[in-house]
Structures are given as structure tokens and as C-alpha cells.
Amino acid sequence: MAVIPVKGFLQDDAVVWELRGNQLEFTLSEFRDLIASLGKKRLFSYLREERPALLSQIQTLYADRIGSDEEEKELEYLLESCLFGFERKIRVTGS
């Protein structure tokens, strides 16, 4: 699976994560909780418990790239990497 182009930005107290032309929003505290939880569990496990509709939306956005469990795990890893990079960017900008 290739690199996933993602963008994100802060808007007021919301973190907006852009995936395939869709804007997925988190409150800043919700985003921080997500990042903190990734040390304990995987992204899809977290979303399954905390934001099941968002997990479904992400799986729908990438349905063309998920044909097996292995591909889903790879997608999950790439999305986690994107989130960690985004979190570092937010921290660096002082927001």
C-alpha cells in the first residue's frame, strides 16, 4: 500500500483531519485522548469503542484499498503514522 496523502489543520478548538477530500473533526481534547490511547491500543480498536461512525466512514473511504485483514492492518498503521505526524505539527505550532 502506498503513502496516504492526508492533511489537517486546527480551526478554533477543533482538529480537522482531511482524508480523501473529507473533513473529519475532533475537539482538541478528543484528539489528544486519541493520540494518548494509541500507545495502548490500535486506532481501529479505539474508534470502534469511541467513534464507531467515524471508523465506518474511514473504512468506506478506503474500501478500495482494503481487500484483506493484512491490508486493513497496513492502512491502520499508515493512518496512525499520519496522526502522530499531525500531532507533532500541532505541538510545534504551539496550538
Give the separation between CA 51 and CA 7, rounded to whole angstroms: 20
Q: What are the angstrom distances between the C-alpha of 94 and each of 16, 36, 51?
A: 16, 18, 27
pTM of the model: 0.83
pLDDT in tens for each of the 95 residues of the chain? 556 666 888 888 889 988 888 999 999 889 999 999 998 999 999 999 999 999 999 999 888 877 788 888 999 999 999 899 888 887 755 54
